[in-house]
Amino acid sequence: MAEYWVIDPIEQVVTVLRLENGQYVEVGVFRDGEAIVSPMFPQLSLTVQQILSGEV
């Protein structure tokens, strides 16, 4: 399973996509203090705010 994250610091969003049948499919778009959902890393506990602020 492959996964791709797009981090947009201007819009303050993280978009998570996963590879299905040769194409990336959107898993979700996360904002602000929302917890990011990652099919590849289900135990991951990060928020958009943590990533954008560098508090990882």
Per-residue pLDDT reduced to its tens digit, 19-55: 999 999 999 999 988 999 999 999 989 999 999 998 7
Q: Which of 5, 12, 21, 11 is nearest to 53 (CA)?
A: 12
Handedness of CA 5, 43, 48, 35 (dihedral sign): positive
- Strand runs labelled E in 1-56: 3-8, 13-20, 23-31
pLDDT band at 1 (very low <50, low <70, confident <90, very high): confident
Residue 16 lies in domain: 3-53
Question: Domain count of the chain?
Answer: 1
Strand pairing report for 23-31 and 13-20: antiparallel
pLDDT for 13 beyond 80: yes
pLDDT computed for residue 30 by the predictor: 97
pLDDT for 56 beyond 90: no
Asked whether the whole model's pTM tops 0.85, one would answer yes
